[in-house]
């Protein structure tokens, strides 16, 4: 029988995403969990009010529990900041578990301190409140069974000790056994809820993966690029803002921002738009199945040629987008040339056993288009210029590359560049707005 807490081999690729999603869910539920727990804490205070008057230290203990609850609220509200400072989900979970663990220890201490001053009826109410606390904690701590156990174990141990060892409690052992059985049931329920939540989150991750990935080539699709670029562009613009600022520790700040490469330079992206030459002839001559087989092989060659941090997108049909990450301001012509060579290097195999030779054209540009004014042109506009460069390359014939980068006069007319390029590329070049690089590197 398979361990329900372990992922199936086919789902191991979702392990990191699942862990992060469960941590995020824990932080999200913590807000409501703290608010729902406050009435139980007040009820516990009413039950132990007489004990508090006889032992004033209990007031401080209740205050400490309230402080731990406020700490949990703070971690919940600053979850995004915590995730940014500590990317490791295990560390995020440890930070989250700290407050419930302290709360559980505080409640256990309250029970033990109050034990000598409460009678049988208060002990029964204390046990009932313990069961209520355990049931409520399932809802708020369900995403993390580890945190649930850290919270409930000290509370359960202290309540059982109070029931079994308390004076004038002839049936304390029997009642303690019932409470223990109830808590064991709650732990099993918590484990069951946790497993159901894991399955639900895993299913959601799988559905999202299907939406954001091309079903034929298994590359990412246009929707994924849109979601990816939201955070990526914000990070890039922050690095350029730091680089052009006056902070003394600019290098260390940039290294912290550039988590992938650890570079002390501001980050840039290279956009490459690639289109297969004469691809429609494959479909017309050999059929749709043959065209699909070629596209799958194109995706395989892209994966083998691109670097690990680069992002590969099937844009549509036989057109692909390659996002070269963690690059400098140099246009990505070398990567574009490697991709061009990878396509023409050997023939593509068809299901019929035949082989065809195909080449590609590439257009490329770099984001930010201007390092000094990175936020003037959006990444969509820069990608659009890479598309125009691709069209220019195809006009020159099969197996060509063209790049577009900023020229001297373009620095003062950034907003006008996209429209000028779209209307007349050659005129924009003559006006000194852009620099067009039409020559491919030779192997």
Q: 135 pLDDT exceeds 80?
A: yes
Residue 1 counted as domain residue:
no
CA distances from 333 to 72, 177, 221, 388, 429 (A): 50, 74, 23, 15, 18
Residue 2 counted as domain residue:
no
pLDDT at 252: 45
Buried b (16+ CB within 10 A) or exposed e, 298-316: bbebbeebbeeebbbbbbe
pLDDT at 365: 93
CA quadruple 251, 256, 258, 262: dihedral sign: positive
Who's near 281: CB < 8 A, 6+ residues apart? none
Q: What is the DSSP string of 216-282?
A: TT--B-HHHHHHHHHHHHHHHHHHHHHHTS--TTHHHHHHHH-TTT--SS--EEEEEEEEETTHHHH
pLDDT at 172: 55
Mean of pLDDT values over 411-419: 83
Same domain, 324 and 189: no
Q: Residue written as tokens 């840039």? A: 268
Per DSSP, the three-state class of 356 is strand
**Model pLDDT for residues 54-65, shown as the tens digit of each residue:** 998 999 999 999
Same domain, 59 and 199: yes
Q: 320 pLDDT exceeds 90?
A: yes
Residue 31 counted as domain residue:
yes
Of 388, 399, 222, residue with least CA distance to 321: 222
Residue 3 counted as domain residue:
no
Average pLDDT taken over every residue of the chain: 85
Burial class (CB in 10 A: 0-12, 13-18, 19+), 145: buried
- Kindly report the CA angle at 177 between 172 and 181, in degrees rounded to 5? 150
Same domain, 196 and 321: no
Q: CA 329, CA 366: separation in Å to the nearest integer?
A: 7
CB 123 within 8 A of CB 163: yes
Give 312 or 115, the one with higher predicted confidence: 312
Q: Of 211, 239, 257, which residue constitutes the final position of a domain?
A: 211
Q: 250 pLDDT exceeds 90?
A: no
Phi, psi at 373, each rounded to 5°:
-135, 65
pLDDT at 381: 92
Give 262 or 148, the one with higher predicted confidence: 148
Q: 259 pLDDT exceeds 50?
A: no
Three-class SS string for 59-76?
HHHHHHHHHHHHHHHHHH
Q: 223 pLDDT exceeds 90?
A: yes
Q: How many domains does the chain have?
A: 2
pLDDT at 296: 96
Q: Of 156, 188, 211, which residue constitutes the final position of a domain?
A: 211
Sorting pLDDT into bands at 50, 70 and 90, what band is 218? very high
Same domain, 63 and 167: yes
pLDDT at 129: 87
Threshold 0.85, pTM exceeds: no
Sorting pLDDT into bands at 50, 70 and 90, what band is 419? confident
Same domain, 356 and 251: yes
- Above pLDDT 90, what percent of the chain? 39
CB 118 within 8 A of CB 54: no
Same domain, 86 and 227: no
Same domain, 275 and 164: no
The β-bridge relationship of strands 348-349 and 319-327 is: unpaired
**Model pLDDT for residues 34-54, shown as the tens digit of each residue:** 888 889 999 999 999 888 999
Helix (H) or strand (E) holding 33: helix 15-47
Q: 219 pLDDT exceeds 90?
A: yes
Q: 247 pLDDT exceeds 50?
A: no
pLDDT at 362: 95
Residue 216 counted as domain residue:
no
Who's near 171: CB < 8 A, 6+ residues apart? none
Residue 197 counted as domain residue:
yes
The strand pairing partners of 360, in sequence order, are: 276
Lowest mean pLDDT among 89-98, 101-110, 173-182, 392-401: 173-182
- Above pLDDT 70, what percent of the chain? 90
Mean of pLDDT values over 181-185: 83
CATH of the domain at 305: 3.30.70.270
Q: 359 pLDDT exceeds 90?
A: yes
Burial class (CB in 10 A: 0-12, 13-18, 19+), 206: middle
Give 338 or 412, the one with higher predicted confidence: 338
Who's near 249: CB < 8 A, 6+ residues apart? none
The strand pairing partners of 367, in sequence order, are: 269
| Domain coverage including residue 109 | 9-211
Q: Where are the beta strands (DSSP E) in 16-149?
A: none
Q: CA 104, CA 68: separation in Å to the nearest integer?
A: 10
Same domain, 203 and 241: no
Same domain, 160 and 245: no
CB 383 within 8 A of CB 273: yes
Of 59, 80, 166, residue with least CA distance to 121: 166
Residue 257 counted as domain residue:
yes
Q: CA 433, CA 421: separation in Å to the nearest integer?
A: 9
Q: Of 211, 236, 255, which residue constitutes the final position of a domain?
A: 211
Mean of pLDDT values over 316-345: 89
CA atoms in the 13 A half-sphere facing the CB of 266: 22
Q: 248 pLDDT exceeds 70?
A: no
Rg (CA), the chain: 31
Measured torsion, CA atoms of residues 393, 336, 409, 411, in degrees rounded to the nearest 10: 140
Same domain, 206 and 227: no
Mean of pLDDT values over 70-77: 89
CA 240 to chain centre: 23
Same domain, 119 and 249: no
Same domain, 140 and 236: no
Residue 168 counted as domain residue:
yes
pLDDT at 241: 75
Sorting pLDDT into bands at 50, 70 and 90, what band is 357? very high
Sorting pLDDT into bands at 50, 70 and 90, what band is 167? low
């Amino acid at each position: 029988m398979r361990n329900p807490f372990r992922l199936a081999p086919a789902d191991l690729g979702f392990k990191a995403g699942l862990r992060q999603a469960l941590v995020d869910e824990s932080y999200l539920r913590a807000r409501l969990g703290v608010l729902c727990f406050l009435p139980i804490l007040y009820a516990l205070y009413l039950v132990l009010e007489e004990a508090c008057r006889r032992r004033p230290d209990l007031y401080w203990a209740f205050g400490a529990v309230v402080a731990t609850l406020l700490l949990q609220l703070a971690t919940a509200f600053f979850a995004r900041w915590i995730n940014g400072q500590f990317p490791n989900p295990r560390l995020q979970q440890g930070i989250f578990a700290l407050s419930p663990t302290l709360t559980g220890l505080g409640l256990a201490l309250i029970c033990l301190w109050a034990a000598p001053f409460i009678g049988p009826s208060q002990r029964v109410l204390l046990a009932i409140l313990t069961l209520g606390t355990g049931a409520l904690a399932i809802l708020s701590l369900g995403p993390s069974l580890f945190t649930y156990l850290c919270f409930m174990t000290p509370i359960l141990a202290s309540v059982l000790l109070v029931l079994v060892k308390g004076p004038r409690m002839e049936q304390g052992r029997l009642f303690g056994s019932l409470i223990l059985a109830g808590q064991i049931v709650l732990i099993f329920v918590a484990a069951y809820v946790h497993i159901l939540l894991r399955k639900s989150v895993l299913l959601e991750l799988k559905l999202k993966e299907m939406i954001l990935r091309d079903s034929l080539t298994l590359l990412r699709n246009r929707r994924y690029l849109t979601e990816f670029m939201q955070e990526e562009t914000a990070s890039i613009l922050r690095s350029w803002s730091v680089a052009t600022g006056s902070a003394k520790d600019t290098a260390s700040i940039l290294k912290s921002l550039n988590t992938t490469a650890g570079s002390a330079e501001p980050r840039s992206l290279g956009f490459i738009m690639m289109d297969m030459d004469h691809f429609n002839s494959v479909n017309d001559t050999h059929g749709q199945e043959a065209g699909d087989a070629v596209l799958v092989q194109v995706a395989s060659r892209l994966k083998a040629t691109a670097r690990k941090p680069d992002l590969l997108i099937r844009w549509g049909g036989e057109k692909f987008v390659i996002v070269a990450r963690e690059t400098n301001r140099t246009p990505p012509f070398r990567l574009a040339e490697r991709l061009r060579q990878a396509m023409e290097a050997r023939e593509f195999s068809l299901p019929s056993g035949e082989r065809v030779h195909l080449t590609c054209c590439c257009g490329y540009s770099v984001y930010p288009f201007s390092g000094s004014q990175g936020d003037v042109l959006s990444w969509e506009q820069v990608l659009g210029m890479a598309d125009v460069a691709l069209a220019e390359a195809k006009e020159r014939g099969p197996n060509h590359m063209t790049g577009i980068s900023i020229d001297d006069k373009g620095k003062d007319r950034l907003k006008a560049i996209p429209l000028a390029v779209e209307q007349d590329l050659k005129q924009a070049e003559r006006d000194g707005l852009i620099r067009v690089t039409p020559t491919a590197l030779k192997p």
